[in-house]
Each structure stands twice: as C-alpha cells, then as structure tokens.
Structure 1
Amino acid sequence: MSSGDDAIQAAEQRAEHTRGRNLPPYGTLPDLPIPADTANLREGAELNPACLALLPLVGVWRGEGEVNYPTIDGPRKFAQQLTIAHDGRPFLYHEARSWLIDDDGKVIRQAAREVGWWRPQPDDTIELLLAHATGIVEVFYGKPRNQTSWELGTDAVIRTSTAKEVTGAQRLYGVVNNGDLGYVEERAMVGEPMQPHVSAYLRRVVG
C-alpha cells in the first residue's frame, strides 16, 4: 500500500478539473451542530487514516453503464451518480442513484438506488454494507487488489418478503489511469447462477 502522502498526491493529479467542487448542502439544515459530509479531500474533515486505502474512491462520479440478465429485457443502458463521502471517521458513505436512458441519453425512468457504508479494517479487509430500495440488504467483504482497485463479494444477503430472490453478488471497482472509475458486478438471483449483471464507467465531477 502507498503512504498517505503518495495517495493524496495521486488524488490531486486525478482531480484537475473537479478540485473546487463539493457536495451541495441539500437535505442539511444550516443549524446542524455537526459538520456535513465531504466528498472533496480539500474541504471539511480530514480523511481518517483508516480510509487511506480507499482514498481514490472519495468523490462524486457520474457516467453510463449497461445492465443485463437472463430474466430482464436487455441489455439496457443506464446513467448513474455515485457519491462516496466521509465525515472524518473510519468509514465512507456510499450512495448510488441510477436511471434508465435511451440511445440518445434521454431519461426513460428512475432505476436502482442503494446506500451504505465502506468500513476498512486494520488487516486491509473491507466491509461494504449496502441497502437497496428493492428490499435487499447485502454485506460484502473484500480487499484492495492494488492501490486503485477493490474486489468484494457477498457474505450475507437479506431480503424482505416482497423482494426478488438474490443469493449472492460480486463487485470489482477500479480507478483507471486518467482518473475515471469503472466497476463491474456479477449477481446470482431468481434461480440463475452467478453471472455478469451490471457494468459502468463514471467520471469524477466532485473532489
């Protein structure tokens, strides 16, 4: 793993056009007695040292991807905003909002939403807890593959009585050389074996 100084320097180089932006204070009353989350490492609380292995992920990302599975009419194109922020404590906040788009990039309808927490541990293990608007809660475990990529798989999947059957998932996130973020997801659900489900390519817009 790189030192904290090396990680911060690399983040500076990747954020040439987004370093002056941060999360807007929507949803936060101005008299909240604690600091707001930050997705910009130059503003707000300092990143907790426990999160240094995840430092390249901090920011707001937007882009497009493709979703496909044997049980859906696909492949379908979607756009997404992914927010990964922190408040100075040893975890990161995760929120992803997606919407289906047509071939011209026009919005068809809103799609998947998920929120959760990245929880790095002293042995480099990463816990990722995600709750989906579809009634699914997943607990992922994983580790960094290198300084800019992270691989995780589910240890537990819980669902409500109205949610579709999901038995497992795997995700791989990676920051590429030009600073963009890509990820792929495999999923086992509704009687199908583990197989590719979602892929996306996102560009940094904050941080």
Structure 2
Amino acid sequence: MSDKEENPLGPPPWLNAPPVDPYPFEETHDLRHGPDLHPALLGLLPYIGQWRGRGRGGYPSLEADFDYGQEIRISHDGRPFLFYESRSWLLDEESKPIRPAGREVGWWRPVGEGQGDDIEALMMSPTGIMELYLGRLDGLRLEMGTDFVGRTPTAKEVRAAHRLFGIVEGALLYAHEMAAVGQPMSPHLSARLIRVGG
C-alpha cells in the first residue's frame, strides 16, 4: 500500500474516542480509607504512612557533612506492592530550609512462598540512577542490598548500595550506604522520621 492510499479499515477506533474520566482508583497511605490492603503486604503494614523528619548525610568524596529534612510517603492501591516516594531538602544550622535536595520514587514488592519476608524493590532518582534491591523483612526491620544499578551516561557512578529500614518506638529510621565515585561502600544518609499521616 502506498503512502497516498487510504487504509481501507479506517483509523483505529481509539484514535477518535472521547477522553476518559480521571484515574478512577484510589491510592492511600492511610489504612482507614481506600482499598483493602493486599494480604501479601501485611508484614510491611507498619511502614505504610506519611513520614517527616530530619537526617544527616555525608560521603568521603564530599567536603562536609550536611543536615536535611525529609518526607517519605509509602502507599498502596490494593495490589501486592507499595509505592515509595521521598523528597528532601537541605537545612542550615538553624534548621531553616536552604534548597531542595534528593528526590526518589520506587516500589517495594514482597515475593516468595512465605509470609512476604523476601522483598524486591526498585528505587529511582531524577539524577539518572535506578537501583534494583533484593531484601529481607525480619519483624520491623527491612534490610536490602542492590542486585543491579543502572545509570544514564550523565549520572554519577554508583556501583552498589545497602539500605536498612526499621520502625523503632513508632518512628521510621533508616541508614543508606553506597559505593560510588571510586569510593568503597560507605555511610551516606541516615534519618529519623515520625508519622504525620496514615
């Protein structure tokens, strides 16, 4: 069929279909509202919520350590995975915001035969880094290490990372180590966040 010939079947029907309504399904970080939690997520239930707090960061390649504020939202839509979203900002010595800092989105998914103790997680940042983690949930402690790190040609070189999360006295604590820019696995971020929603 030449470029000038018309398609005898006409345009596909979806091409001229009317617009659809807004996304009709709810996602929530508040277990009192929205869809029922998928049974596979019961072990991760304490993590679901909106969290806010402060942390301390540094790395051997940086001139100085830094303080930061952070919000993390962990939500679900009834399917067997959690949506993770984090945004942070640098703080000055008086805890006043300086500028936006790290941002990250991802998904945590329980896998395997047991009670959802094995976790696969994807974490991505706008700086061009995508990390695939394999982890293990042990009570209120979630530990994960990278199985794969992908990056764009312009992203900083990151070879591996390790993250430890825990719920301690109702707060979300975590520590993040990474091997990057020629450095061995080294501490990078740690924070304590309190539940502000959910």
Report the TM-score when normalising by structure 1: 0.82
Aligned to 1:80: 70
Q: Which residue of 1 aligns with 2:18?
A: none
Distance in structure 2 (CA, Å) of the matches to 1:158 and 1:79: 27
Provide the rounded CA distance (Å) in 2 between the counterparts of 1:143 and 1:42: 27
**Does the 8 A contact of 1:100 with 1:109 survive in 2?**
yes
Q: Which residue of the partner structure matches residue 147 of structure 2? A: 155
- Report the Cα offset of residue 73 of structure 1: 2.4
Letter of the aligned partner of 1:133 in structure 2? P
Q: Counterpart of 2:3?
A: none
In structure 1, list runs of 5 or more residues that go unmatched. 1-30
Query: Does residue 93 of structure 1 match 2:86?
Result: no
Alignment pair present for 1:121 and 2:111: yes
Which residue of the partner structure matches residue 102 of structure 1? 92
| Structure 2 counterpart of 1:203 | 194
Q: Which runs of 4+ in 1 moved over 6 A?
A: none
RMSD: 0.9
Q: TM-score, normalised by structure 2?
A: 0.86
Q: Which residue does 2:11 correspond to in 1?
A: none
Post-superposition shift, 1:35? Answer: 2.1
Q: Which residue of 2 is the match for residue 67 of structure 1?
A: 57
Q: Using the alignment, how far apart are the partners of 2:154 and 2:173 within structure 1?
A: 31
Q: Percent identity?
A: 51
Q: Does 1:187 align with 2:178?
A: yes
For the residue of structure 1 that corresponds to 2:150, the secondary structure is strand
The equivalent of 1:143 in structure 2 is 136
- Give the deviation of 1:34 after TM superposition: 1.8
Distance 2:64 2:150 in 1: 26
Unaligned runs of 5+ in 2: 1-20
**Take 2:30 and 2:64, find their aligned partners in 1: how far apart are those partners?**
36
Aligned length: 175
Matched letter for residue 129 of structure 1: L
Higher Rg: 2
Q: Which residue of 1 aligns with 2:26?
A: 36
